[in-house]
Structure 1
Amino acid sequence: MNVDTLFESLNRELTANQSRPLNPAETLLLRGIWQYQTYSQIAEEVGYSPGYLTNVVAPELLHRLSDLIGQRLTKKNCRILLEEYAISQSHPKPQGRSQPLISSPGLNPNQAFTLAFPSGPIAIDSPFYIARPPIESQVCDEICLPGALVRVKAPREMGKTSLLLRVLDRAQQQGYRTVYLNLEQMDRAICADLNRFLRSLCASVTRELQLEPKLDDYWDEDIGSKVSCTLYFRQHLLEEIKTPLVLALDELHQIFEYPQIAKDVLPLLRSWYEEAKRVPIWQNLRLIIAHSTEVYVPLQLNQSPFNVGLATQLVGFTLAQVQQLAQCYGLNWSDGESAKQLMAMVGGHPVLIHTALYHLSREEQTLSQLLAAAPTPTGIYHHHLQRHWTILKQRPDLLQAFQALQRTRELIYLESSLAHQLNSMGLIDHFGDKVTVSCELYRQYF
């Protein structure tokens, strides 16, 4: 869809709903999101500060558009959901078909759920979350232990954030305080400066806990930002709330791109974990760190938070889990044959599975039709694939490495940093120190 046509349509809809049309800043931001740019990249191009776009323009824009289309928009799902909305407006389905109601097995049979396009984390009360035992119970049990540290590793779109939401919900039920921070939302300028990063971390946690910010009372350049940050967490946060605090740091791999910062931040997290062994108040801090790739920042063994605590790794759905999810979407795949056909194309990739089942439940096409078009520009995965292609084009080294994998079905060795980054995108699977393309969809499309 032409982006200018879409913007005209959105402005008409906003005006018709007694809301104002898009202003210039919102229009520029939405164009950048359309091109899968980061907020910092957009800001650099259009001349706004990254903080203004991230903290002022984006929340208001996404809130207004969410109200307009009746679904929660995020930066990640914005383009997909707006295009879906525009298509539904120009080609309306017969009444009752645009958003079918699905009865979820195992719940009240009289309770139906409006079927929404699967994008972003799965809400706590959603019937479409598929547990992957024993990870959920292991992590929930671990955060109940004094001074716990949990590491959740998985490629992007494998369900890390959905898992974190459920762990935090369990913690709240235990009477704990919880804070969720996504490091992907931090400005590049903050991530590149240790002092600014740690002050931002303290300020964000303080705000989430609804406490009075007192950074300047604890920050002392003579003792350094790491000690200042540690004193702030201990004396102002932990001693103030007097209950366990579960701090979830999502997308921690973002700081791997800043080795000098990572070399200070990662040992700091490790030191807080170690402090719990000798200082009781630190036992109230329970850390969960989620990341998409292995750390490729050199650290001494006794400084890394990646060799202590509970390590978990999310993997793709099994055949039984795909069948279970199909049932949630109202499909009868009990014989397993349809699930096997879909997995032959996309493996157990949760987002790709969800997307296929969503379209099939709407009876828009048969499974055979969906699979035939899947690796083409007209398939249901076009935007997902195009996003990966945009990243690969910007990184010739990654593209060259991935193309080398496509030329063979044998396991091959890739240089570690390239393998880590391709794995974080979900494009490859590791088998020991060798890798291969993760699913047939990627092999055929690229």
Structure 2
Amino acid sequence: MNLDLLFLIVDRLLIESHNRPLNSTEKLILLGIWQYKTYKQMAVEAGYSPGYFTNVVAPELFGRLSKGIGQRVNKKNCRALLESYATTQTASQKRPLRQNLAEPLPDVNQNTLPCYPSGSVPLDSPFYLERSLLEEEIYQEIGKPGALIRIKAPREMGKTSLLLRVLDYANRQGYHTISLNCEQVEQAILSDLNQLLRWLCANITRQLQLQPMLDEYWDEDMGNKISCTLYLQEYLLESINTPLVLALDEVNYIFEHSQVAKDFLPLLRSWYEEAKRLPIWQKLRLLVVHSTEIYVPLELNQSPFNVGLPIQLDCFTQQEVQQLAQRYKLDWVDGEEARQLMAMVEGHPALVHLALYHLSRKQITVSQLLENAPTEGGIYSHHLQCHWATLQEQPELAQAFDTVLNTNETVSFDPILTHKLSSMGLIKLSGGQVSVGCELYRQFFTRRSSNKRVANIRGRIPE
């Protein structure tokens, strides 16, 4: 069966059963199954960790499909069951399928139900909570020649949603905008300065719809950084008449390659400094977005992280949670429900949105949601399983987090581990103190770690 048609049938099934169609990673899983690939092959080709596909994406997908079809779905029988189901649906006159693949998905009460919160909040969404003071500060800064803006926050705190609005503002000013996500860059490129700089220039060139001229400017005798700088200055910036906003998202992925970071990050700083003496560099406005503090040692006068405008995204306040609940049409009058939710997730934006979405569907109460929240059957199961899979793949990271879970005293361990846990949102850093990110994480990971220790002990006891 044609895979495009199959995806349409499965989308309809999942919308009817879960109000959410296939996401991009789930489509990769199905495509890989049709191509008889292992989870490892699927993950490596797509740039994900194998454990994420094996332990998180596939189990959740099969669970949703099982509920929708009414039969237990797994990797071995997935293809046969879906093809049988699709054939039945195609033959049925009760559910006519779209003949035109460009035709939109059926309306699922779009006017009354909010969309399932996943990833960044769309520009036209009423469920985006404005950070008015920060946004206005950024808009003013981006209008300044040679501006550099640094946005920092753990993952899923709203950085990309904010970035969308900054780029939209810049577009409305008539600026050129380029957005590049370092998370999407292959490791082979991130670990090689020459390839990284050529990747950067090639992507900017493509998005500006200019002819690539890299080989004409790249000179081994001058070196990669000078070649890249000249390409930007003499070709790209000379070719445009309005400012260029260059947004580099998830720059922390470069931190993991310390030698490359020691060359690349000072290069960003040098472009910022060039704007003070060369008018052409004033066209460039840099947006650097990252999830952790910089943990690569740099000279103070070379770091881009101590110049420009710093922006720190924090968790929602109780008042903001209450305000967002109103947008989800929840009748929270006295603030008690908001307080209870804050006690569990501490205003974590992604977790708050997910809770309010489920509550808005009137199928679960606040007390039921919070009781099941730190369990495998709760609404946060996918989010928690993702973090668990990451920790299992990095034992040193898991051990460090376990230390935080099991002590009330100040703990100190490798700065890189601290920054990674902080970027995941699993820990909070305040005045030298390290603590668990929220009660949800404390309860879930304490129980998971305890169960794992018990299982290990039992495994060592002879029967």
Would the TM-score normalized by the shorter structure come out above 0.5?
yes
Taking a change above 3 Å as real, the CA distance of residues 83 and 286 of structure 1, as seen in their structure-2 partners, is: farther
Partner residue in 2 for 1:418? 417
Residue pair 1:345, 1:440 contacting (<8 A) in 2 also: yes
Aligned equivalent of 1:195 = 194
Which residue number in structure 2 is paired with residue 224 of structure 1? 223
Residue of structure 2 in register with 1:345 after alignment = 344
User: Which letter maps to 1:228?
Assistant: S
Matched, 1:434 2:433: yes
Task: Give 1:374-413 correspondences, 5 Å limit.
Answer: 374-413=373-412
Structure 2 residue 12 is the aligned partner of structure 1 residue 13: no
Which residues in structure 2 correspond to 1:76-155 (within 5 Å)?
86=65, 89-90=68-69, 99-101=108-110, 112=111, 114-155=113-154
The residue that corresponds to 1:39 in the other structure is 46
Q: Compared with structure 1, are the counterparts of its residues 81 and 24 closer, same or farther at alpha carbon in structure 2 (3 Å cutoff)?
A: closer
What 5-or-longer segments of structure 2 have no aligned partner? 14-26, 51-55, 71-106, 446-463
| Partners of 2:335 and 2:44 in 1: CA distance | 40
* 1:104-139 CA distance string (max 9 Å, x none): xxxxxxxx3652110111111111110124211111
Q: Secondary structure at the match of 1:147?
A: coil
Please, what TM-score do these two structures have when normalized by structure 1? 0.80
1:2-81 maps to which residues of 2 (within 5 A)?
13=9, 24=32, 27=35, 31=39, 39-40=46-47
Note closer, same or farther for the CA distance 1:42–1:365 as it changes in structure 2 (3 Å cut). closer
8 Å Cα contact 2:113-2:361 kept in structure 1: no
Q: Which residue of 2 aligns with 1:289?
A: 288
The residue aligned with 1:213 is 212
Question: What is the CA deviation profile of residues 316-343 of structure 1, one whole-angstrom value per residue up to 9, with x for unaligned ones?
Answer: 0011111111111111213110011011
Corresponding residue number in structure 1 for 2:322: 323
Shift of 1:434: 1.8
Question: Which letter does structure 1 place at the counterpart of 2:9?
Answer: E
Query: Which residue of structure 2 aligns with residue 175 of structure 1?
Result: 174
Which residue does 1:185 correspond to in 2?
184
Distance 1:191 1:156, change over 3 A: same
Distance in 1 (CA, whole Å) between partners of 2:156 and 2:424 is: 8
**In structure 1, C-alpha distance between the alignment counterparts of 2:59 and 2:195, rounded to whole Å:** 34
Q: How far is 1:25 from its partner?
A: 7.9
**Secondary structure in 2 matching 1:151:** strand
Distance across 2 between alignment mates of 1:82 and 1:305: 42
Query: Cα offset for 1:38?
Result: 7.7
| Structure-2 residue corresponding to 1:364 | 363
The offset of 1:379, in angstroms, is 0.6
How many angstroms apart in 2 are the aligned matches of 1:148 and 1:191? 25
Aligned residues: 388
Give the CA RMSD over aligned residues: 3.0
1: CA distance, partners of 2:164 / 2:297: 31
SS in structure 1 of the partner of residue 255 of structure 2: helix
2:47–2:184 contact (8 Å) kept in structure 1: no
Separation (CA, whole Å) in 2 of partners of 1:335 and 1:32 = 50
Deviation of the 1:10 alpha carbon: 5.3
Give 1:325's aligned amino acid.
Answer: L
Q: For residues 142-176 of structure 1, what are the alpha-carbon distances to aligned partners after superposition, in whole Å with 9 as ceiling and x for unaligned?
A: 11100000000000000111111100111111111
Equivalence for 1:3 = none
Alpha-carbon deviation of 1:29? 7.4
Return the index of the structure with the highest Cα Rg. Answer: 2
Cα distance in 2 between the residues matched to 1:29 and 1:244: 46
Q: Which residue of 2 aligns with 1:63?
A: none
SS in 2 for 1:443: helix
Once the two structures are TM-superposed, the CA of residue 100 in structure 1 deviates from its matched residue by 4.4
CA contact (8 A) 1:99 1:116 kept: no
1:307–1:199 CA distance, 2 compared to 1 (3 A): same
Aligned position for 2:79: none
Task: Kindly state the Cα deviation for residue 415 of structure 1 after the two structures are TM-superposed.
Answer: 3.2
Offset at 1:367? 0.8
Task: Tell me what 1:234 maps to.
Answer: 233
Structure 1 counterpart of 2:263, which letter? D
TM-score normalised per structure 2: 0.77
Paired AA for residue 417 in structure 1 = I
Native 8 Å contact 2:148 2:308 kept in 1: yes
Q: Which amino acid aligns with 2:420?
A: Q
Kept in 2: contact 1:153–1:292 (CA 8 A): yes
SS of residue in 1 equivalent to 2:347: coil
Mapped to 1, the partners of 2:116 and 2:137 lie a distance apart of: 30
Superposed, 1:268-283 pairs within 5 Å as 268-283=267-282
1:409 to 1:26, Cα distance in 2 relative to 1, 3 A: farther
